[in-house]
Structure 1
Amino acid sequence: MIQVRNPRTGRDDYQFAPATEADLDAHAASLREAQRDWAALPVEARVAVLRRWGDAVEAASGALIEALIHDTGRFGETHAEMNLFRGTLARWLRDAPAQLATFDERASAVETIKLAGQLVPYPLVGVISPWNFPLGLSVIDAIPALLAGSAVLVKPSEVTPRFVEPLIATINQVPELAAVLRYVLGDGKVGAALIERVDMVVFTGSVATGRNVGEACARNFIPAFLELGGKDPAIILPGADLDRATSALAWGATANAGQACQSIERIYVHRSLHDRFVTQLADKLRRLKLAFPKPNDGEIGPVIFARQAEILRAQLDDAKAKGAVVVTGGELQVLEGGTYLLPTLLTKVDHTMLVMTEETFGPILPVMAFDTVEQAVALANDSVYGLSAAVFAASEQEAELVARRLDAGAVSINDATLTAVVSDGEKMSFKLSGLGGSRMGPTSIRRFLRQKLLIKSRGAGPQPWWFRSLA
């Protein structure tokens, strides 16, 4: 049995038996068999099935929210996560039919040959999802894959598995869906075994694990779509609206206690604004309270994963030892067994510090001054990560000029962390932040499809046969 820690109490209060190799074999065989009939359905029929599932999830939202609160120890973000499910489902029920339409027969460059297309789904898609948004990130790829005609096998994080039981109950209310969507519980060993049994993998998690996933998929000659870590920078240029910037960054760096890949994790502010910026940001951060003793008592929930607390402690200790100044926060607190960190603002930081170069995944905001735009761009790009970024300036045009120079897949202009609220714009991760096509935007559903071309020879006129004797 695998024991599961409660992030609010620090105690193990849940356990589960991990899936065995035999379990995975049985699931894969059953899913593959059911997928043939599922793919043969018109897309409108698949849409109807998932709409019924949405109704079942809505009816069970109370139980799901309760399980997610126990999984993550948070309140407001859990309700936002339910909205993420609703939004993901709604946009794909709306967009999938148009994206899955194939082109009609058309002429080719050769007069006597016509072309037609067919979209063929990957039969079995494996989804390996993380602990920071357990429900939302387990369905964000599963839903479009199902609508594309694939069957899906999901392995969520063993850190946050409680939501799976009420979710499976909703899936079982829709038999057509239960035939092609399964959740299995387990640790990294189960995830590795899952890769051996599927036709493509979508993974969300750390760079280290993502590299292992990518290598395993390459050996099996199956595609891997990897959504990995980030070290998102924000740049504040002269003339920027400091009230807007500090409010946006206070949210963009501390929502979900900073436990999101798109969190702002380093801030570069022009030297002429530095002191005023720090004063305003510190004032706003001090207004944020710990979500303790109840999940809805404040904005900053506990550290979900115990190992993450050690990363935060190590980065803070390293920064302090190298001369960083703590303006707000700065100390991890253990309260009734749960580990918390108030929003922590650091100054006097530089790129010799772990907090400026390694992913933090916590509510820490290091602020560094710059003198020129060129220096700011160079500092922002001085990272192995390239997920997203933010730029604040006096005008949208000025911010955009800088944004276009950043090595990041998405850049928020005069705001922060907008990829958390906008899902209809396609983006790709740069550098070690990921690999493969975007999961955002309407055409991203085509990741789960292969394009087949039907080449039709009509037989009239000369044929391009090689041997004249066959004519």
Structure 2
Amino acid sequence: MVNQIKIRNPRTGINDYFITQPTVEQIATKCLNLRPAQIEWEKSGIEKRIQAMQQWKETIFSHREKLTQALVNDTGRLIESRLEIDSVANSIDRWCKLAPQLLSTESTKTTTIPFIQLQNQFSPYPLVGIISPWNFPLLLSLIDAIPALIAGCAVAIKPSEITPRFIQPLLETIAKIPLLCDVFTYIEGTGETGAALIEYVDFICFTGSVATGKKVAEAAAKRFIPACLELGGKDPAIVLASADLELATSALLWASVVNAGQSCLSIERIYVAESILTEFITKLTEKAKGLKLAYPNVESGEIGPIISIKQAEIIREHLQDAVTKGAVIHCGGNVENLDGGFWCLPTVLDRVNHSMKIMTEETFGPIIPVMSFTTIEEAVKLANDTIYGLSAAVFAGSEAEALAVASQINAGGISINDAGLTALINEGEKNSFKFSGLGTSRMGVDGMKRFMRKKAILSKVNSVINPWWFKS
């Protein structure tokens, strides 16, 4: 019996699309079919792979309108959908430029034993599996896939079942590139599909919640395969008394509510020096009130809908918990149902504390809680009072002052006098701290090197008798 899954439209609330849940046998077959082609893909060489990826990029551009509309239907927003396509193209170009040097055979060198020479070679993991989230469905399904493909791996992706409409138009672009289509595929389905995928791949990448990330890590460990996990965050920002408040409020507003706050790199809590708290909240609230919902149409404003029903419920729960415990809302503050979609205006609130879910649990919405501090030691302690350690931001009158604070924050990527930079600066290699992730950085050169296993070729260059051999 065919198992069809109904998919909700985030703008209308109507189930206007469906996907078919594959059987375990179908998943296994898809994965097994990629393996023979991967051998040829690897043998074709880096230049051929780069050529194929560049051809695919041009095909994506030629299908841009159809792909954009699918993403709009998936997520309910236009600006970010266009950005996703551009970011994918930029990612292809960047990795194609870096790959020849990163994947080149290293020169032979003499070891500490004079008659033994060493050469390192690279061997790609044959099949990489990717389980990706719903908040940036195209970009986050490909952020790991692009470097893996160029490295010589085959790739199978299981995207979120909440936003699957982009899959078919994207598969149409892949099908037009002969060398690529045999080593690259998407598999629709629920979490069960992702769990099954882990059983048939050699390397797994996952972006999503801590709860699911733990399950992925356990399943990968049982199979003894590497796992790269980027999980949740509750990113803090610290604003010192010397900070430029005009700059800080503009940066933090963007970093908190872009994509309606549905980003693991969103700033989710702000700690402000007590002496500037009132001025900071006044400026931030004024700017937040200037943003509008992208309703009734996608070009009406900057803030799109809450994509997931479950997330809308979490945002509502966090707001209610905060208000019940004494928080004061300065703007926004409600999750509204407008024509079936869930929406939330940028919300600034203060008189918050760490007894509130809004300060300790991932909210994943356009919510900006602000809490005061009296000493830098207190601010750092509050920033580090979390199970997460993805990103952070520090604002101060000088870079040196901000760096002194940043060095004490337990997070993988910290922006100085700006916010959300770790999503934009691809050279910034970093590791997630605590429960925010596991494995090698997807940024910087490690973003590609992690898909390569390193071999050491040790060659004896003359016929001397090794001094450690048994004497005859």
TM category (shorter chain) comes to over 0.9
> What code does the residue aligned with 2:242 have?
G
Structure-1 separation of matches of 2:186 and 2:125:
18
**Residue in 1 aligned with 2:451?**
448
Counterpart Cα distance in 2 of 1:420 and 1:111? 46
TM-score (normalised: structure 1): 0.98
Tell me what 1:143 maps to: 146
How far apart are residue 459 of structure 1 and its match? 3.7
Task: State how far apart, in whole Å, the 2-side matches of 1:329 and 1:104 are.
Answer: 60
Alignment of 1:225-264 (within 5 A): 225-264=228-267
Unaligned runs of 5+ in 2: none
Paired with 1:432 and 1:378, the residues of 2 have a C-alpha distance of: 18
Aligned-pair CA distance for 1:442? 2.4
**For the residues of structure 2 that align with 1:32 and 1:464, how far apart are their CA atoms?**
44
Identity of aligned residues (%): 52
Q: What residue identity is the alignment partner of 2:228? A: F
Q: CA RMSD in A?
A: 0.8
| In 1, Cα distance between equivalents of 2:162 and 2:467 | 61
For the 8 Å contact 1:74–1:295, the answer to whether it is kept is: yes
Distance 2:415 2:358 in 1: 22
CA drift at 1:421: 1.7
Indicate if the aligned counterparts of 1:96 and 1:442 stay in contact, CA closer than 8 A: no
- Aligned-partner SS, 1:269: strand
**415-424 or 314-323, larger mean C-alpha shift:** 415-424
Contact 2:111 2:118 in 1 (8 A): yes
Match of 1:370 in 2: 373
**Is the counterpart of residue 97 in structure 1 residue 100 in structure 2?**
yes
Deviation at 1:116, TM superposition (A): 1.2
1:269-280 equivalence runs, <5 A = 269-280=272-283
Partner SS for 2:419: coil
Instruction: Give 5+ residue unaligned stretches, structure 1.
Output: none
Matched letter for residue 431 of structure 1: K
Letter in 2 for 1:206: S
Alignment partner, residue 341 of structure 2: 338
Instruction: In structure 1, give the amino acid aligned to 2:440.
Output: G
Match of 1:305 in 2: 308
- Matched residue type, 1:278: I
CA distance in 2, matches of 1:49, 1:23: 27
Name the counterpart of 2:130.
Answer: 127
Give the Cα separation in 2 of the matches to 1:29 and 1:335: 45
Could you tell me how far apart the structure 2 residues matched to 1:202 and 1:464 are?
46
Distance (Å, rounded) in 1 between the aligned partners of 2:238 and 2:370? 10
Q: Which of 82, 104, 109 is matched with 1:106 structurally?
A: 109
Rounded to whole Å, the distance in 2 between the matches of 1:330 and 1:464 is 77
Establish whether residue 439 from structure 1 lines up as the match of residue 442 from structure 2: yes
In structure 1, what is the equivalent of residue 56 of structure 2? Answer: 53
1:465 is displaced (CA, Å) by 4.9
Deviation at 1:113, TM superposition (A): 0.9
Matches within 5 A, 1:459-470: 459-469=462-472
CA distance in 2, matches of 1:381, 1:90: 37
Counterpart code for 2:288: L
Change (3 A) 1:159 1:465: same
CA contact (8 A) 2:144 2:447 kept: no
Residues 420-471 of structure 1, C-alpha deviations (whole Å, 9 max, x = no match): 22112111111100001110112320100000111111243231453212xx
Q: How far does residue 189 in structure 1 lie from its aligned partner after superposition?
A: 0.3
Structure-1 residue corresponding to 2:403? 400
Tell me the SS of whatever aligns to 2:409: coil
Query: What do residues 192-223 of structure 1 show as CA deviations (whole Å, max 9, x unaligned)?
Result: 00000000100000000000000000000000
Partner of 1:317: 320
Residue-pair matches, total: 469
Q: Which residue of 2 aligns with 1:356?
A: 359
Other structure's SS at 1:386 match? coil
After TM superposition, list the pairs within 5 Å mapping 1:46-195 onto structure 2.
Answer: 46-195=49-198
| C-alpha distance in 2 between matches for 1:429 and 1:101 | 29
Check conservation: 1:99, 1:443, Cα contact below 8 A: no
1:117 to partner: Cα distance: 1.5
TM superposition shift of 1:102: 2.2
CA distance in 2, matches of 1:340, 1:28: 39
The amino acid of 2:235's aligned partner reads D
Q: TM-score, normalised by structure 2?
A: 0.98
- SS of residue in 1 equivalent to 2:450: helix
SS in 2 for 1:283: helix
Q: Which runs of 4+ in 1 moved over 4 A?
A: none
Q: Distance in 2 between matches of 1:458 and 1:396?
A: 53
CA distance in 1, matches of 2:403, 2:470: 60
